[in-house]
Amino acid sequence: MKILITYVSFSGVTKKVALRLKEMLGADEEEIVPSKAYILEDLNWNDKYSRSSMEMNDEKSRPSFKPLTLDPLAYDVIFIGYPIWWYVEPRLIDTFLDYYDLKNKIIVPFATSGSSGIAGSLTHLRNLYPSLNIKEGLLLNDYIDENKIRALMS
């Protein structure tokens, strides 16, 4: 099985987890990079006019991303990592899933968060993309259970 680890990381936390998964699974890895980088002020969730707040308050918001060098369609299993924003995935993940036709792929979400779980994002993703094979996914911060990760891929 060919495995790709994709992710968005604004503070570096999700990237650290993605790189550990890459090493653990012998996978390829590529970051989903926004076309316009987020600056600190963009990420201020206490400011209702910050870029992140405005995106998350608009369900149809689809910020663009830079072209990937790897083709997700060439993989069997695609891990998609993200920090939890407003109890769900950042809209950049939705842009990625809108762009690629991943119907015949195994999608394994993983998230990082200091306080929220992954359940809200899994429900949201499954509602937006009912034709995708979205696995249960895991909230990963420090400890990664390799057996649980491998079980999700089946």
Each residue of 107-126: pLDDT tens digit? Answer: 999 999 988 899 999 999 99
Site of tokens 């057996």: 147
CA distance 62 to 84: 16
What pLDDT is attached to residue 152? Answer: 84
What pLDDT is attached to residue 82? Answer: 97
Q: Among candidates 49, 143, 152, 137, which has minimal Cα distance to 93?
A: 137
In the chain, alpha helices (H): 13-25, 51-56, 91-99, 119-128, 146-152
| pLDDT above 80: residue 142 | no
pTM of the model: 0.90
Percent of the chain with pLDDT over 90: 71
How does DSSP classify residue 67?
Answer: P
| pLDDT above 90: residue 54 | no
Cα–Cα–Cα angle for 91, 135, 103, rounded to 5 degrees: 70
Helix/strand number for the chain, H first, E second:
5, 6
